[in-house]
Amino acid sequence: MSIAYLGFIGVVAIILWRAWRVRSNYLWLFALAWGAPIVMSGLRIASSFGMVEPSLLVDNSTVIAMAIEALLSSTAIAYRILLLSRERDAAREQEIAARLLADTDPLTGLLNRRAFLARAIGRPGEQTLLIADIDHFKRVNETIGHDGGDEVLRAFARALRSALPTDTLIARIGGEEFAILVDASTSVSPCAIRDRVRGQSMPYDITVTASIGTCTGPLLHDADWKTLYRDADRALFEAKAAGRDRSRSAVSLVSAA
């Protein structure tokens, strides 16, 4: 029996050493849970060799060790479950963050083209697409540099967010080109968007304007998107050709000013 107890202590020592080598987060739990059985085993061994007088503690050492081990093991299991829960929550947060990074434009924080199309195509009912383009953006970059141009893009994105309902799909789909999609039943004024852009604080207090082309139609399939985008882009070209800082509709091509 003494040899069996010694073997038990040896196995525990090997496991604890291995846990220390792999930097286990539960090493201290193992040590606590097995501390009582090791101590009681030591008493049994000492008693069998006449080193300790028999006593109530020694006689009941097995029961005492099992009770303490059960209590500490339950604590260890609860702690392990808590850590697993935290690891799961952290993994979910990382997954959400990665998904957001994959769906957003890193410069403006708006949707990128891929995420925009994934959410836009298939929406039921008539949809209104607005294509907004910053006027003379090349001149902006030449005047205040590309870093200043990047800040203009961020400020332009903030202007769009503040001028549109919160459920509006807004994306940066090109260099200085932005797409806006709303249900046709939602009233969105291109004129109000242009006014908000002109009133937006810009780097070096420069004045930035935008031209907007709009078109309304179904958006159930990829072919619908191509048609809607082509017509809205044509309206945008008409707005720029008319002098910029204007909006046009692909249907009527009447100024929204």
Task: Please list the active-site residues.
Answer: 176
Distance (Å, whole) CA 244 – CA 255 = 11
Using CA atoms, how far residue 96 sits from 83, 92, 107, 124, 227, in Å, is 20, 6, 19, 27, 33
Largest CA distance in the chain: 108
Number of other CB atoms surrounding residue 67 within 10 Å: 12
Burial class from Cβ neighbours inside 10 Å (0-12, 13-18, 19+) for residue 227 reads middle
Please, are residues 177 and 237 in contact by the beta-carbon 8 Å criterion? no
119 contacts 173 by C-beta, under 8 angstroms? no
